[in-house]
Structure 1
Amino acid sequence: MAAAVKAAAAKAAGTGEDEGRLLAGRYRLGAVLGKGGMGTVWRAQDETLGRTVAVKELRFSTGVDEDEKRRLITRTLREAKAIARIRSGGAVTVFDVVDEDGRPWIVMELIEGPSLAEFVRENGPLTPRRAAEVGLAVLDVLRAAHGQGILHRDVKPSNVLIAASGRVVLTDFGIAQVEGDPSVTSTGMLVGAPSYISPERARGQKPGPPADMWSLGGLLYASVEGVPPYDKGSALATLTAVMTEPVDPPKNAGPLAEVIYGLLAKDPARRLDDDRARAMLTAVVNAPEPVAPPVVPPNAEETRQISLADAKEAADKAAAEKAEKAAEKAAKKERERREREQRERARAALKSARKEAAATAAAAAVATASAAEPPASTKPAPVAAPLTDVLPRRTMLLAAAAVLVVLAAIGSLIAYAVGGDDKDSKQQGKNGGKATPAVSASPTPGAGGNGNGNNTPQNASPSTPQNSAPASPKAGDPGTTSQGQGAAPGGSGSGLPAGYAMLSDPGFHFSMAMPEGFHLTGIAGKKSGGIYSRDGGFPRIQVDYNNSPGDDARKAWMELAPSVAGSSRGYNLISIGTVAYRNYPTVADWEFEREQDGIKVRVLNRGFKLDATHGYAIMISCAADQWDGPECTQMRNTAFETFQPLG
């Protein structure tokens, strides 16, 4: 097939008459290897040294004037000089430049193999690991070029060759920009492939090394996805998308996604540089490859019998799991039914107790009044008088005491049976269907085996970070203050830093130490969690709860990051990666910056899973210029150290 392609290329080039031609008495032209906008590449034989080489011929199309010819000759010579200055195993070696027919011919090392674009087209996208290897090889060439003041400006899959030995070579420095070269003039033209041109070049700004790093990000994207990151059908539409639109999230990038997002940052100042990109690509290359399951032939008789046995075992296992889940669901429904009946009985008892209290108080008042009333024959004529005149003070005090005793009993009944849910209808309307969380006393971290990471969790996808939706709690409501209503303040003997108190929120299933004065100031956008601060501003802590978490916290963050980036002003990804936290089965930190409420905010969002029904995200937000200050640092450390799951 390759021979057919080359033959077709030779025919298309219309240069059959030059085959066999001897250049400079030394280089014998053979078959045409390819043809581009500036000329033709030949396979040739160096008859002096007896080796096969590639010769790039500069060709002029019909109608080109002398000025344009001089410009193209200058550009070709500049390419040869640029390549000759680069010292890298990933760059093509230039052997010679021959001047014949008034135009230059570049004699170069011959690379036998397809371009990256051809390889992906014929074999499908690369794995993230192989794409990272290609990226490192291209990065080596760019580092060497940038060190010589050379910008490639046309990094794309068709300019990367994959040799049969596996060597990766970056070619075609035809539009390279060489610092300090007086032959470089500005023509006002934007050259390069639109899908791989950086936003700053698309805007006409002077490019630097970050422009080549953007193109490398596009190359990595195309390597794993099979399509460029931006392709809108026309050059103008594509360049507009490059400047204004977020990239479509890659589906096959896996661990390479973070590198791609970092390289495709629209602001060159926030783009990954050589060192950070190299470290991240190396980590992808060194990560262990997933082990593929063994492939079982489907048509052997013996295999069919084994497969049937395996299928039966799998079916039995699935049936058992289904039965277990059904039993758990039924048990949960039964528990909820019993709890509901208990609450209804408690409410009925409450109403009865209230009536009985009122009746008891009334009876006591009537009986006392009757005992003190004079005989009818001596009763004075009825006149209006204050209640204290009709009922002596001692009688009223006795009646009030009786009422208080009954009401105290009622209060105990409420606390035991409904746990404060008597105000559900009012508070749920205020907090999106959840009871307003109460600030309550909570043991010091470690009590009960939770605070020191002694849980034995079984497996998270963290919940979504949301901008706050103010809850506007009233002063005096449960949850509006962290002191004086059951909070456990820090200080001597409390086990907490000075100025901190434990805050419990049963509605979102957690307790945690927060700075004194922190209270519920907002509900997360999807009512998945609470936002806690002093006044609704920063610093703040958001805690989200998820009752059906996934099994890969980092993957959940990676999937969520593009939508948050697209909806946030001034978004800048700092990092997404797995971390160790209390031996929970999956934990990941997502750190980024964005503009919020008129200030630059830095955010650390830690997502983790405890078990099949408990997943959490703890999002710490501070003003960016205070992130490393003592207040924000202590708030982060204390939050993660004292977090306790509830329920």
Structure 2
Amino acid sequence: MAASGKDAKDKGRLLAGRYRLGTVLGKGGMGTVWRAEDETLGRTVAVKELRFGSGVDEDEKRRLITRTLREAKAIARIRSGGAVTVYDVVDEDARPWIVMELIEGPSLAEFIRENGPLTPHRAAEVGLAVLDVLRAAHGQGILHRDVKPSNVLIAATGRVVLTDFGIAQVEGDPSVTSTGMLVGAPSYISPERARGYKPGPPADMWSLGGLLYAAVEGVPPYDKGSALATLTAVMTEPVDPPKNAGPLTEVIYGLLAKDPAHRLDDARARALLTAVVNAPEPAPVPVPAPVADETRHIPLIDAKEAAEKAAAEKAAEKAAKKERERREREQRERARAALKSARKAAAAATATAAASAAEPPAAKPAAKPAGKASSVVAPLTDVMPRRTIVLAIAAVVVVLAVVGSLIAYAMSGDDTGRKDAGKGGKPTPAASAKPSPGGGTSPSPQPSAKPGEQGGQTGGGGQGQQTPAPDGGGSGSGSGNGSGSQGQGTTGGAPVTGLPAGYTLVTEPGFHFSIGMPEGFKQTGIAGENSGVIYSRDGGFPRIQVDYTGSPGDDARAAWAESVPGTSKSSTGYHHIRIDTVEYRGYPTVADWEFEREQKGTKVRVLNRGFKMDAKHGYAIMISCPADQWGGPECTQMRATAFETFQSLS
């Protein structure tokens, strides 16, 4: 590092008669760090010098001095191998100089810039080391408030050290006062701090999540250019799915939960990180990129205004989502009413026809042909009286009219609202279970195929394993857990009483389910490695995929979240919409994953509902439609009917 005029002048200076300054190791907004020699003990140390910029008044100087002393006291109270050791505090030139342990090695930010992102295994090791320091600090009532890659040093020995407690908040310290400023790196400031709320230990856990994200991705989780835009994104936007996190995905999402009450705490984060460290390390995926984590001072009033604006937008979005859900709920209720009325009408027609058929027909003379007997087909009127035929035909006409009108009524509504439902708000994604390294299914309620995967079209009636498709379809790595007839037992039939007009019931004993779908749909593929079945008219869209697993997990939402990176990476134009826990028939865990992607040249919107029925039965129902038809009558009816009519055959 090139030395400035003042640095050159101070080089060789002796502090307190024992610490001789050498070269400059680094500079920050409020100080310079020197390499120095402790001539009394004969050891190399680091000395942090507090410097005042031009135009700093006396009040600001006092505040900075207080902050520096608070940093020294905070570090001295922490007992952790991942915290730097403070040796001394020297008062010279009416300002403090902190003498501390010298750590030889780059910061995590510098390491990433020079060598690229860390592997999930190494990132988990770094995360555990930082977590140790935070636990020790929080135990002393100290919040770091500036956890980021540039404040983590990687020693040549591999030791990981969390530094710079300069903006730490110490519980009970009367010198900590509100300055109306939000201090820290915007990408690593927690949502509650950005909103001006009083932070607690969860705020540091959020920053740890951001650090882990940057460690494996090479970029911060939120970086919109300006501080206010970044803070607004932190408060209101979902994080871009990490592409290289692998087994770290769950802990990253858990730490970056916007609600501190739902964020991972020390114990849960430690358990997940330890599991990653103990697991076999996969090959790294290099994605070199800089880490932007400069500590900035943002006026709190601006951050609050941004938060209020974001909150208003969020409220409008929620209101639109509620309105869309209300319309969909009304549509489902209309569909149920239509089905119920259709059943009643069909039953009445059947009873009328049966009663008429019971009447004895008028006697007709039998004409016995002479000579050789021949086969003669009797007219219907010879077997059944005309009155009965007329009544039966009338009954059928009535039933068809009732069904048609009711279905039309159920599908009627505001066309604009339906279009908006396909464009606005947060949609719902697709899901399949993710296989575990051991070859079995992970603890997810979904089938063993990976959540975003679509089986390709196969020949031979869907037998065998399909070739992975470049549009995101491909083979999974789980087991269908069904009988040997999986993929071969699909049966269809005439429309079943109670289904909407144009729908039929399809039964698949191999995968243990039946479901209603449009007439003309047939099996056009096998999902994953024989984990489920894909139905469509011709192999295109719309389509329905149903997966089954005999070993479902206990958290559908977590399983979907874990599967996002793989699906995002393997899909073209993946756009994440939402992952929501939902209620469905009282099942113990159900989650909807909704997203968009390009498949076979078509922009497709996908809703995948994964659910666990019991310990041995888990399913995922994936509905895929062209994105521009998502809110249209066909796709809306198909989704409602699939979820309404699905039945397990176990």
The TM tier, using the shorter chain, reads 0.5 to 0.7
1:151 corresponds in structure 2 to 143
Structure 1 residues 215 and 522: alpha-carbon distance in aligned structure 2, compared to 1, 3 A threshold: farther
TM-score (norm 1): 0.53
Q: Distance in 2 between matches of 1:20 and 1:396?
A: 117
Please point out which of 597, 603, 613 is paired with 2:589. 603
Amino acid at match of 1:174: G
CA deviation vs aligned residue, 1:550-590 (integer Å, no higher than 9, x gap) = xxx9764555699998436xx4xxxxxxxxxxxxxxxxxxx
Q: Is the 8 A contact 1:462 1:546 kept in 2?
A: no
1:97-136 map, 5 Å? 97-136=89-128
CA deviation vs aligned residue, 1:223-262 (integer Å, no higher than 9, x gap) = 1111111111110111011111111111111111111111
1:288 and 2:280 aligned: yes
1:322 corresponds in structure 2 to none
Q: Give 1 or 2 for the bigger CA radius of gyration.
A: 1
CA deviation vs aligned residue, 1:413-450 (integer Å, no higher than 9, x gap) = xxxxxxxxxxxx99x99999xxxxxxxxxxxxxxxxxx
Amino acid at match of 1:153: R
Q: Distance in 1 between matches of 2:240 and 2:284?
A: 28
1:545 corresponds in structure 2 to 546
Amino acid at match of 1:399: V
Amino acid at match of 2:506: P
1:64-213 map, 5 Å? 64-213=56-205
Q: Distance in 1 between matches of 2:112 and 2:566?
A: 25
Please point out which of 263, 267, 270 is paired with 2:255. 263
1:311-322 map, 5 Å? none
Structure 1 residues 219 and 601: alpha-carbon distance in aligned structure 2, compared to 1, 3 A threshold: farther
Q: Is the 8 A contact 2:108 2:150 kept in 1?
A: yes
Q: Distance in 2 between matches of 1:75 and 1:187?
A: 13
Q: Is the 8 A contact 1:511 1:644 kept in 2?
A: no
Please point out which of 43, 55, 77 is paired with 2:35. 43
Structure 1 residues 371 and 280: alpha-carbon distance in aligned structure 2, compared to 1, 3 A threshold: closer
1:29 and 2:21 aligned: yes
SS in 2 for 1:567: strand
CA deviation vs aligned residue, 1:471-510 (integer Å, no higher than 9, x gap) = xxxxx972759xxxxxxxxxxxxxxxxxxxxxx9635666
Q: Is the 8 A contact 1:463 1:546 kept in 2?
A: no
Structure 1 residues 47 and 181: alpha-carbon distance in aligned structure 2, compared to 1, 3 A threshold: same
CA deviation vs aligned residue, 1:55-80 (integer Å, no higher than 9, x gap) = 00111111211111111110000000
Q: Distance in 1 between matches of 2:589 and 2:103?
A: 48
Please point out which of 418, 431, 449 is paired with 1:460. 449
Amino acid at match of 2:546: Y
Q: Between Structure 1 and Structure 2, which shows a larger proportion of helix residues?
A: 1
1:57 and 2:46 aligned: no
Q: Is the 8 A contact 1:32 1:41 kept in 2?
A: yes
Q: Distance in 2 between matches of 1:156 and 1:122?
A: 17
Instruction: For residue 39 of structure 1, report the CA deviation from its aligned partner.
Output: 1.0
Structure 1 residues 121 and 511: alpha-carbon distance in aligned structure 2, compared to 1, 3 A threshold: closer
Instruction: For residue 188 of structure 1, report the CA deviation from its aligned partner.
Output: 1.0
CA-based RMSD of the aligned residues comes to 4.8
Q: Distance in 1 between matches of 2:495 and 2:248?
A: 48
Structure 1 residues 463 and 134: alpha-carbon distance in aligned structure 2, compared to 1, 3 A threshold: closer
Instruction: For residue 92 of structure 1, report the CA deviation from its aligned partner.
Output: 0.3
Please point out which of 1, 10, 18 is paired with 2:10. 18
Q: Which has the higher contact order (CA 8 A, sep 6+)?
A: 2
Amino acid at match of 1:567: R
1:619 and 2:619 aligned: no
Q: Is the 8 A contact 1:246 1:566 kept in 2?
A: no
Q: Distance in 1 between matches of 2:51 and 2:240?
A: 39
Amino acid at match of 2:239: V
Structure 1 residues 134 and 60: alpha-carbon distance in aligned structure 2, compared to 1, 3 A threshold: same
Q: Distance in 2 between matches of 1:94 and 1:509?
A: 69
Instruction: For residue 620 of structure 1, report the CA deviation from its aligned partner.
Output: 3.1
Please point out which of 231, 234, 251 is paired with 2:226. 234
1:478 and 2:462 aligned: no
Gaps spanning 5+ residues in structure 1: where? Answer: 1-5, 294-364, 373-394, 405-424, 433-457, 466-475, 482-503, 530-542, 548-552, 572-592, 608-615, 622-634
Structure 1 residues 620 and 508: alpha-carbon distance in aligned structure 2, compared to 1, 3 A threshold: same
Instruction: For residue 93 of structure 1, report the CA deviation from its aligned partner.
Output: 0.1
1:204-603 map, 5 Å? 204-290=196-282, 368-369=364-365, 399-400=383-384, 460-462=449-451, 478=496, 480=498, 506=506, 512=512, 544-545=545-546, 556=563, 559=566, 566-567=577-578, 571=580, 593-594=581-582, 603=589
Q: Is the 8 A contact 1:544 1:618 kept in 2?
A: no
TM-score (norm 2): 0.53
Amino acid at match of 1:160: V
Q: Distance in 2 between matches of 1:252 and 1:90?
A: 26
Q: Is the 8 A contact 1:26 1:48 kept in 2?
A: yes
Q: Distance in 2 between matches of 1:522 and 1:49?
A: 84
Q: Is the 8 A contact 1:218 1:228 kept in 2?
A: yes
1:636 corresponds in structure 2 to 614
CA deviation vs aligned residue, 1:350-396 (integer Å, no higher than 9, x gap) = xxxxxxxxxxxxxxx99945869xxxxxxxxxxxxxxxxxxxxxx99
2:345 corresponds in structure 1 to none
Q: Is the 8 A contact 1:154 1:176 kept in 2?
A: yes
Structure 1 residues 506 and 248: alpha-carbon distance in aligned structure 2, compared to 1, 3 A threshold: same
Q: Is the 8 A contact 2:241 2:568 kept in 1?
A: no
Q: Distance in 2 between matches of 1:20 and 1:158?
A: 27
Q: Distance in 1 between matches of 2:10 and 2:284?
A: 52
Structure 1 residues 126 and 185: alpha-carbon distance in aligned structure 2, compared to 1, 3 A threshold: same
Structure 1 residues 604 and 37: alpha-carbon distance in aligned structure 2, compared to 1, 3 A threshold: same
Q: Is the 8 A contact 1:83 1:94 kept in 2?
A: yes
Amino acid at match of 2:450: S
Q: Distance in 1 between matches of 2:96 and 2:380?
A: 116
Amino acid at match of 2:46: A
Q: Distance in 2 between matches of 1:459 and 1:603?
A: 16
Q: Is the 8 A contact 1:221 1:228 kept in 2?
A: yes
Instruction: For residue 175 of structure 1, report the CA deviation from its aligned partner.
Output: 0.2
